[in-house]
Amino acid sequence: MPERLIIRGKLFQLTSHMTWEYPLFYVFNFYFADSLPNINRTCKGNCRFRAIMNKVIIRKPNRLLNTFLKYSAGLVFKFRYRLHHENRDIVKQLEPPYLLLPNHVSLFDPVLISLHIPHPVSWVASDPNFTNPLAGFFLRRLGTIPKTKGVSDLDTVRMMIETLNRKGVVGVFAEGERTWDGQTLPVLPATAKLVRLLKIPVVVPIIKGSFLVLPRWAEKKRRGPVTIEYRLAVSREEAGKLSLSELQERLDKNLNYNEFDYQRNNSLTFHSKELTEGLSRTLFICPGCKGINTMYSLKDLFTCDSCGFSVKLTHRGFFETRRGDLPFDDIHEWYVWQLEYFRESLRKALMENVSTVLFDDRDIQFSTGYKTEKRKRLGFGKARMYADRIELELSSGEVLKFPLNEISGDNVVYRDQFEFYYNKTLYSFTFTGRPTSGIKWHHAVTFLKSQ
């Protein structure tokens, strides 16, 4: 029996206990595997057929599909988003390999940016985007690289390096997630290490106006202009000369952007009949009574159903008071105040050794999975946050407990879907009632684990 087996570009090292009694189609199933963890997971239990993948030839972006999408769906996006660009010559004159590091605002960021990039881009995308068979089919053929959010993923780094080594272009949202409040987050430190290692230039596309066109929390998009400004953050020569701290500082400086500072200087209008629909996914604490989960939306009004505090969100993206006192006039300032108050409340609960429920949510669909695997429904019920654990109570009456010190990779995907790993299994919360904040679960877990 041969020691190695090559199947359509994938190289496998066969282990000594393998035999050819297994159906050949099972071998070919490895072609559709995304990464080694998924392969090993498939071969658990009674399955004796195992392999160790020494090297994977990452799928190159399909140029024909890339061009077709750019001049079909891409043009639709360009028209609907009233898309403009600044300093496009930077990417027109730059030869691959190089790294794209945009700010992350909406699901459509890769499409909007790729329209102006002369070379196919292999974007890094979170695992849940691959769980839909149709979406996964196109993402793989566009050279998209899967990434597990919230945890170190060596497979992702390996795929990025291989793509860049073959003179490709890789797009990474180095903040790690889409913005909730219009302010960019610091660049993840691993990004500067990758730039230093490969000595490649870095282009930072800053997407302006997109947060007010399609905020992460919103139900529907607004009508308004979007501009993409291209910045050469690090040249090829600088990538090999600057220290890690200098690279990190350079990347943070170029990626720093606040949508509301931009809006104050430009005063653009964004039209919609339902400007605040879904805002409670981001702003979950009332500034009036400090209640959690008490805010609700109605067209352009955002009101507390506990104390009656109410504001109006204008077409320029700023708040106007309708009832009560509001010490801030935009979503970012409210969000910053909210996180400080939320953390202080959690800190006080810990100091008082509170053993009761800190907060809870109902009408949740629970599911399980792993990386890019299709999610399996676990049940329907409610979730409770304690100082040391999360509890899920299913409609069947079963209660599942998850100690915080055994949880990893907690994050929020899409608009409000909270996820975490426990015992190498992904648990996911989908809120099925009125818009509910998944980000408060992430902030609570992060803070409580740090204490």
pLDDT at position 296 is: 95
Task: Report which DSSP code applies to 284.
Answer: -
Interior CA angle at 111 toward 183 and 187, to 5°? Answer: 35
65-75: per-residue pLDDT in tens? 878 888 887 78
Query: What pLDDT score does 36 carry?
Result: 33
**Least confident segment among 52-66, 319-333, 414-428:** 52-66
Residue 281, number of CB atoms within 10 A of its CB:
24
Question: What whole-number distance in Å separates Cα of residue 30 and Cα of residue 37?
Answer: 12
Average pLDDT, the chain: 84
Q: Does some domain include residue 350?
A: no
Q: Which of 386, 391, 387, 388 is nearest to 427 (CA)?
A: 391
Q: Is pLDDT above 60 for 35? A: no
Q: Which of 338, 368, 385 is the last residue of a domain?
A: 338
* Better-predicted residue by pLDDT, 138 or 323: 323
Identify the CA nearest to 262 among candidates 314, 335, 186, 318.
318
Distance CA 50, CA 201 (A): 40
Q: Domain for residue 160, yes or no?
A: yes
Residue 109 domain-assigned? yes
Average pLDDT over residues 360-381: 93
- The whole-number average pLDDT for the span 228-255 is 95
What letters, b where the CB count within 10 A reaches 16 and e where it falls short, cover 375-394? beebeebebbbbbeebebbe
pLDDT given for residue 253 in this prediction: 96
Number of domains in the chain: 4
Cβ–Cβ under 8 Å, residues 122 and 143? yes
Reported as a pLDDT band with limits 50, 70 and 90, residue 15 is very low
Q: Is residue 402 domain-resident? A: yes
Same domain, 331 and 187: no
Please check whether residues 257 and 112 belong to one and the same domain.
yes
Concatenating the DSSP letter of every residue in 88-120 gives: THHHHHPPSSEEE-----STTHHHHHHTT-SS-
Same domain? For 14 and 84 the reply is: no
CB-based burial of residue 76 (10 Å sphere; 0-12 exposed, 13-18 middle, 19+ buried)? exposed
Residue 142 tokens, joined: 């566009």
Q: Which of 266, 288, 309 is the last residue of a domain?
A: 266
pLDDT value at position 230?
A: 97
52 and 67: one domain?
Answer: no
Residue 398 has pLDDT above 60, yes or no: yes
Q: Is 259 in the same domain as 318? A: no
Q: How far apart are CA 161 and CA 159, in angstroms?
A: 6
**What's the mean pLDDT in 187-194?**
88
User: How confident is the model at residue 152, as a pLDDT?
Assistant: 65
Q: Is residue 349 part of a domain?
A: no
Q: Are residues 136 and 244 in the same domain?
A: yes
Q: List Cβ neighbours of 254 (8 Å cut-off, separation of 6 or more).
A: 101, 204, 231, 233
Say yes or no: 23 and 69 in one domain.
Answer: no
In this predicted structure, which of 123-132, 145-154, 167-176, 362-371 has the lowest mean pLDDT? 145-154
CATH number at residue 441: 2.30.29.30
Query: Which of 217, 242, 266 finishes a domain?
Result: 266
Written as six digits, the tokens of 392 are: 């899920």
Asked whether residue 70 falls in the same domain as residue 176, the answer is yes
Residue 50 confidence class, pLDDT cut points 50, 70, 90? very low
Q: Is the pLDDT of residue 6 over 60?
A: no
**Whether 369 and 424 share a structural domain:** yes
- Report the alpha-carbon angle 451-408-285, nearest 5: 60
Residues 250 and 369 in one domain: no
Binned at pLDDT 50, 70 and 90, residue 58 comes out as low
Going from the C-alpha of 93 to that of each of 195, 205, 227, 254, 418, the distances in angstroms are 20, 15, 20, 20, 41
pTM to 2 decimals? 0.81
Number of neighbouring beta carbons within 10 Å of residue 269: 14
Amino acid (one-letter) located at 196: R
Checking if the pLDDT of 150 tops 80, the result is no
pLDDT of residue 451: 87
222 domain-assigned: yes
Mean pLDDT value of segment 314-322 = 96
Average pLDDT estimate for 99-109:
92
pLDDT tier at 216, thresholds 50, 70, 90: very high
**Model confidence band, residue 144 (pLDDT cutoffs 50, 70, 90):** confident
| 152-166 mean pLDDT | 85
Q: Would the pLDDT of 279 be above 70?
A: yes
Residue 354 lies in a domain: no
The mean pLDDT of 54-79, rounded to a whole number, is: 73
Segments forming the whole domain that contains residue 107: 63-266
For residue 370, give the nearest of 128, 136, 134 by alpha carbon: 128
Least confident stretch, 1-5, 61-65, 71-75, 245-249:
1-5
Looking at the fold, whether 400 and 255 belong to one and the same domain comes out as no
- Average pLDDT estimate for 194-198: 89
Residue 122 corresponds to which amino acid?
S
Q: Which residues pair with 400 in a beta bridge?
A: 392
Structure confidence at residue 270 (pLDDT): 94
Residue 273 domain flag:
no
Of the ranges 33-37, 138-142, 360-364, which one carries the lowest mean pLDDT score? 33-37
pLDDT band at 135 (very low <50, low <70, confident <90, very high): confident
Q: Look at residues 431, 396, 428 and name the one whose alpha carbon lies nearest to residue 416.
A: 431
CA dihedral over 155, 160, 161, 165, signed as positive or negative: positive
Q: What is the reported pLDDT for 59?
A: 67
What residue ranges in 301-424 does DSSP mark as E strands?
A: 301-304, 310-313, 319-323, 359-369, 376-385, 389-394, 399-403, 407-413, 417-422
Long-range residue pairs from 127-130, CB within 8 A, at least 24 positions apart, any chain: 127/371, 127/372, 128/413, 128/414, 128/417, 128/419, 130/34, 130/372
Q: To the nearest whole percent, how much of the chain has pLDDT over 90?
A: 61
In this structure, the answer to whether residues 333 and 422 fall within a common structural domain is no
Q: For 403-444, what is each residue's pLDDT tens digit?
A: 999 999 999 998 999 999 999 999 999 999 889 999 999 999
